[in-house]
Amino acid sequence: MAAASARPWLPLLIDVKTDAVIWAADNLFKRDWNTTDGIDYHKQAGQRLEKISANLAASGRNTENLKKTLAEQNQRDLVIELKWQGEADLDLVVAEPGGSVCSATQKRTTAEALAFAKDIEARWEQSKSAEGPTRRPSPEEIKEACRALLTIDPTDKEYPRAWAAFVRLRKIDRDAAA
């Protein structure tokens, strides 16, 4: 009985576009979801992405990009949790060995901002070619990368690279809007 009721949905599963699934998963994973309702949305999305990947692989579809997306969501460079009791005003600043910093006002270090911009540029170039499914950067991602680059201190030794990357991203933003 269960197999019979699932049959009408099989063509829909086979027709799933992996780049659309990747786009949706990226947008779900990059948000910090409130867990006070007892639901771990990241965990649910990860479990569903694993099931979709398994089903697509069983039908002979390439799932490498899906697996990569899932692996990237579990990767963290550093996680710091601050706990305190009573009134407190904590300011955390993380300094990298190269001298760049990450703080409440600068969400990404210089290295992270440059890596993010490089990823956006690579995905944009890949989306312009016909080399299989791509994860074209969204306008929000482009703007986020631009903001991250603009927070880099002009005295930082990587500032010239950051400025050049910012200029390239602005061009991508204009081209994407056209």
Q: Which long-range contacts (CB under 8 A, 24 or more apart) does 52-58 make?
A: 52/16, 52/21, 55/13, 56/16, 56/18
Instruction: For the beta carbon of residue 137, count every other beta carbon within 10 angstroms.
Output: 26
Query: Taking the domains of the chain in order of start, what are their residue ranges?
Result: 9-73, 94-177
Task: Please list the rounded mean pLDDT of every run of 10 residues in the chain (178 residues).
Answer: 43 58 72 66 78 82 78 69 82 73 78 90 84 75 90 87 94 90
Burial classification of residue 110, based on how many CB atoms lie within 10 Å of its CB (0-12 exposed, 13-18 middle, 19 or more buried)? buried
b/e map of 151-168 (b: 16 or more CB within 10 Å)? bbeeebebeebbeebbeb
